[in-house]
């Protein structure tokens, strides 16, 4: 294997835990269900912490479990300082937090500051109050256009389909003002130019920091400030709805958001223990993404350009190179992420054909469904590569089992607002949110004792159940465990990456004496007779790395 053009790249210096952490995303409704009602809960999480310790993660991030009518699976909050009864109580939260800390696992909670639920007391007060009132000023109410205000104030399109404005009926029964919602109509956007909103959220941060959380994942961190005057905006036909591909979207990535992060950074800095903010920011470029993690702002931001990169060696080399450059230039660690609760699971996504756009989800009628075997091979190879990169990595519950996207959920079970707002045109995200299989032979595959499950689990998931995989040396679960143990042992989260050349179909580099190569092509890549394998993403004989496979190895 030729080795030239040695470009050294490092994760940013510093020893804070979040610079190198592997953070496991728990989607509480689908993780483990102690109550047996078919929806996962906090006691369920507590009961499974030993499994996460044995997996070898440093931290967990919990998607929202705060009080909510669950119109968007909890991303529509009515009480930011309490636990929804579906998930348990504040006492259950404290127990979970203490038990996690006892096991050396840090805990990050999801903060949803862009919008509340329409059932939030503030929004209910706003509906009852008059136009121009302080109650309405906490949200974004505007008069409509047209002779009688019958047209929405501008043409913005909701991420979930349809428009971003909903008209209210005033207290006297007449058609009234409109309010803005980037997402569902049940998720009105706060007005972050209002100091009262800012003060409220400082209090919410402190509430959870006082309880002992290690940080926050900040939902829609790129949407909190809208361009002055709310100008019309028409996205390009192929734009991604979260703003990933587009410059100058008047509701994404406005400069004003940085003031808010600087303010929050100071709040977190009042606390001991290296508390951290991780922003969910879908931005058009890595350079712009890096602005989110300048000193004194967020500590991390998700690397969505990396997540969105297709299975293409040149594109993957470029995004890794550019990520380390962009984040390194502001002294922040790069993060790496392949799956979460909003995207098609990467064990399916990486084998998508052009017929099935990622943003639409996959359902029974989708064309060009990904091949499951190829997807799983690529998924395992992609993770093998990711966990060798310097910086912090996120993994999403179930990917350690190699779970594919659930592609055959019947229409009547679907819950994603995207499905309803597009009248079934886009399937949305339910396929990555199906409850986890723990035991191959138990009701609901051990998700609970009752067999109830808020989304149906495919029968084929018995083979992905944790207990089935525990005993199989070549399972995806044991691959993840080996990767995480070696990563920790070799301190791969920090340090230098040196690129290697293993041909145009490979992504290749070394970290000290550890060589890492992934084969994204269609022909085997000979690694040389002298290699000694540390990890193979899937077992193969000899020294030729098969297609859709990655390996960690040393040479004498």
Give the catalytic positions in this structure: 219, 270
HSE on the CB side for 420, CA within 13 Å? Answer: 12
Smallest gap, in angstroms, from Cβ of residue 332 to ligand GLC?
Answer: 21
Residue at shortest CB range from ligand GLC: 75
Q: Which residues, in sequence order, are bridge partners of residue 525?
A: 545
Binding mask 295-334 for ligand GLC (x = CB under 6 A): ----------------------------------------
Residue whose CB is less far from ligand GLC, 344 or 535:
344
DSSP for 121-166? HHHHHHHHSPTT-TTGGGB-EE--BSTTS-B-SS-PBPTTSSBSEE
Single residue of 92, 219, 240, 469 touching ligand GLC by CB under 6 A? 219
Q: Residue 72 interacts with ligand GLC (CB under 6 A)? A: yes
Nearer to ligand GLC, 186 or 537 (CB): 186
Interface positions, 199-218, toward ligand GLC (CB under 6 A): none
Nearer to ligand GLC, 217 or 511 (CB): 217
Q: Within its chain, how far is the Cα of 95 from the centroid?
A: 25
The residue assigned the tokens 């000899």 is 542
Q: Using alpha carbons, select from 97, 119, 114, 118 the residue that is nearest to residue 106.
A: 97
- What is the Cα–Cα distance from 242 to 246, expressed in whole angstroms? 9
Q: How far apart are CA 231 and CA 219, in angstroms?
A: 24
Per-residue binder mask for ligand GLC (CB under 6 A), 367-396, x = binder: ------------------------------
80 contacts 66 by C-beta, under 8 angstroms = yes
Q: Is residue 183 near ligand GLC by the rule CB under 6 A?
A: yes
CA distance 138 to 395: 35
Residue with tokens 């008069």: 143
Q: How many helices (H) and strands (E) does the chain have?
A: 14, 21
Q: Nearest distance from residue 436's CB to ligand GLC, in Å?
A: 18
Buried b or exposed e, range 53-81, using 16+ CB within 10 angstroms: eebbbbbbbbbbbbbbebbbbbbbbbbbe
Q: Which is nearer to ligand GLC, 240 or 280 (CB)?
A: 280
- Least separation in angstroms between residue 112's CB and ligand GLC is 6
Whole-number Å distance between alpha carbons of 57 and 451: 28
Beta strands (DSSP E) in 219-372 are 276-279, 300-301, 335-337
Contact 302, 394 (CB under 8 A): yes
Taking CB under 6 A as the criterion, the residue among 342, 400, 469, 500 binding ligand GLC is: 342
3-state secondary structure of 99: helix
Cβ(368)–Cβ(386) under 8 Å? no
* Rounded-to-integer distance, Cα 547 and Cα 507, Å: 12
CA distances from 530 to 12, 519, 526 (A): 33, 19, 11
What's the chain's length in residues? 556
Q: Are 476 and 469 in contact (CB under 8 A)?
A: yes
**Residue 190 interacting with ligand GLC (CB under 6 A):** no
Which pair of tokens denotes residue 90? 């504040």
Minimum distance between the CB of residue 404 and ligand GLC, rounded to whole angstroms? Answer: 20
Look up residue 403 and give its two tokens. Answer: 């779970």
Q: 352 to 371, contacts with ligand GLC by CB under 6 A?
A: none
Nearer to ligand GLC, 72 or 297 (CB): 72
For residues 156 and 553, which CB has a smaller minimum distance to ligand GLC in the complex? 156
Which of 24, 27, 75, 87: binder of ligand GLC (CB under 6 A)? Answer: 75
Backbone angles phi, psi at 210, to 5 degrees: -60, -35
Which of 315, 353, 381 shows the shortest CA–CA distance to 547? 381
Please pick, from the candidates 100, 108, 220, 382, the single residue that binds ligand GLC as defined by CB under 6 A.
220
Q: How far is the CB of 398 from ligand GLC (least distance, A)?
A: 16
- Per residue, what are the HEC states of 499-538? ECCCCCCEEEEEECCEEEEEECCCCCEECCCCCEEEEECC
Count of positions on this chain that bind ligand GLC (CB under 6 A): 9
Is there binding between residue 252 and ligand GLC (CB under 6 A)?
Answer: no
Residues 110-129 within binding reach of ligand GLC (CB under 6 A): 112
CA–CA separation, 87 vs 42, rounded Å?
5
Task: Tell me if 166 contacts ligand GLC by CB under 6 A.
Answer: no
The bridge status of strand 276-279 relative to strand 215-218 is: parallel
Binding mask 273-292 for ligand GLC (x = CB under 6 A): -------x------------
- Site for ligand GLC, rule CB under 6 A: 72, 75, 112, 183, 219-220, 280, 341-342
């Amino acid at each position: 294997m030729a080795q030239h053009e040695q470009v050294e790249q490092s994760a940013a210096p510093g020893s804070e835990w979040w610079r190198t952490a592997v953070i496991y995303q728990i989607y509480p409704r689908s993780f483990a269900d102690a109550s047996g009602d078919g929806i996962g809960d906090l006691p369920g999480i507590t009961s499974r912490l030993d499994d996460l310790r044995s997996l070898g993660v440093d931290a967990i991030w919990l998607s929202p479990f705060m009080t909510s009518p669950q119109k968007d699976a909890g991303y529509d909050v009515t009480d930011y300082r309490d636990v929804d009864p579906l998930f348990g109580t504040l006492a259950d939260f404290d127990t979970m937090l203490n038990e996690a800390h006892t096991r050396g696992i840090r805990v990050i909670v999801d903060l949803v500051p862009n919008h509340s639920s329409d059932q939030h007391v503030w929004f209910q007060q706003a509906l009852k109050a008059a136009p121009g009132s302080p109650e309405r000023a906490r949200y974004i109410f505007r008069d409509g256009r047209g002779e009688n205000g019958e047209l929405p104030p501008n043409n913005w399109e909701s991420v979930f389909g349809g428009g971003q404005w909903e008209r209210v009926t005033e207290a006297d029964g007449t058609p009234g003002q409109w309010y803005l919602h980037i997402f569902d109509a049940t998720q009105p956007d706060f007005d972050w130019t209002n100091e009262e909103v800012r003060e409220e959220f400082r209090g919410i941060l402190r509430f959870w920091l006082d309880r002992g959380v290690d940080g926050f994942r900040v939902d829609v961190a790129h949407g909190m400030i809208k361009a002055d005057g709310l100008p019309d905006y028409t996205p390009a036909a192929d734009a991604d709805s979260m703003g990933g591909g587009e410059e100058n979207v008047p509701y994404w990535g406005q400069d004003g958001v940085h003031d808010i992060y600087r303010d929050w950074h100071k709040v977190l800095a009042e606390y001991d223990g290296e508390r951290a903010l991780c922003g969910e920011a879908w931005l058009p470029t890595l350079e712009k993404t890096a602005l989110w993690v300048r000193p004194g702002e967020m500590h991390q931001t998700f690397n969505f350009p990396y997540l969105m990169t297709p299975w293409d060696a040149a594109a993957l080399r470029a995004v890794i190179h550019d990520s380390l450059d962009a984040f390194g230039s502001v002294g922040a660690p790069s993060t790496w992420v392949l799956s979460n609760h909003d995207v098609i699971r990467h064990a399916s996504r990486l084998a998508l054909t052009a017929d099935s756009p990622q943003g639409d989800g996959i359902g029974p009628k989708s064309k060009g469904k990904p091949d499951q075997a190829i997807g799983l091979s690529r998924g395992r190879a992609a993770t093998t590569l990711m966990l060798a990169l310097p910086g912090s990595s996120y993994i999403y519950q179930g990917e350690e089992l190699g779970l594919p996207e659930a592609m055959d959920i019947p229409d009547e079970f679907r819950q994603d607002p995207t499905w309803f707002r597009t009248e079934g045109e886009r399937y949305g995200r339910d396929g990555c949110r199906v409850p986890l299989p723990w035991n191959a032979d138990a009701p609901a595959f051990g998700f609970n004792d009752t067999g109830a499950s808020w989304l149906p689990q495919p029968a084929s998931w018995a083979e992905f159940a944790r207990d089935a995989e525990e005993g199989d040396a070549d399972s995806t679960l044991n691959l993840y465990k080996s990767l995480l143990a070696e990563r920790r042992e070799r301190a791969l989260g920090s340090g230098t990456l040196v690129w290697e050349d293993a041909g145009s179909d490979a992504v290749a580099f070394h970290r000290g004496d550890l060589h890492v190569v992934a084969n994204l092509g269609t022909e085997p890549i000979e690694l040389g007779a002298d290699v000694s394998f540390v990890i193979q993403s899937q077992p193969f004989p000899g020294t030729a790395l098969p297609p859709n496979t990655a390996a960690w190895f040393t040479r004498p």
